Copies of this chain bind each other. A is one copy, B any other.
């Protein structure tokens, strides 16, 4: 197993605190490889624990947003920040979750032309606003979300995911984190589900 690229030290797996090593073993078993973010952030165990606790609180819990929709937010806001790690890694997850081999590339380049619903487009507009100019978020922006059926809790989820990956993108840039090669190839060739929404250009 190669050591991932970073500008900071990487601890050997067998020197890691037990809880961190177990978390890494679990993801390795499930995915067949260790995503580099785990190895790179393990340099700071307390920050590692807080990072993944935060991640799971947003990305794994029950929500009005599907898991695929949550990954869409990650890909779109990470592309705004030119974050190679997050675009590639979460692009793979969005392809898995949405069973659509085209979706990640569309979201990363121009989400207004992606295979998504009007409701998802509104979600991504709001996520981009939080990611790019959070001080400008207004009550009108929340009302626009509610018109698409998002609850107050859903709106928090969208905004908090955009906020969390604003941090994550910056950690990737700071450390020069690179996506594992495995991510690039996942779910590239299967046919998309037949009921995928018809893309419509909004705004």
Q: Which residues of A are at the interface with B, using a C-beta cutoff of 8 A? A: 7-9, 43-44, 46-47, 49-51, 53-54, 57-58, 61, 79, 81-84, 87-88, 91, 101-102, 105-106, 108-110, 112-113, 130-131, 133-140, 142, 152, 155-156, 159-160, 162-164, 166-174, 176, 178, 181, 184-185, 188-189, 199, 201-203
Q: Is the CB of A138 within 8 A of B108?
A: no
How many copies of this chain does the complex contain? 6
Point out the residues of chain B lying under 8 angstroms from A113, CB to CB.
Answer: 84, 176, 178
Query: Ordered nearest first, which 4 A-B pairs have the shortest CB separation?
Result: A134-B173, A188-B188, A50-B54, A163-B170
Q: Given A84-B110, A139-B201, does the pair A170, B105 have CB atoms closer than 8 Å?
A: no
Identify A47's interface contact among B47, B54, B112, B201, CB under 8 A. Answer: B54
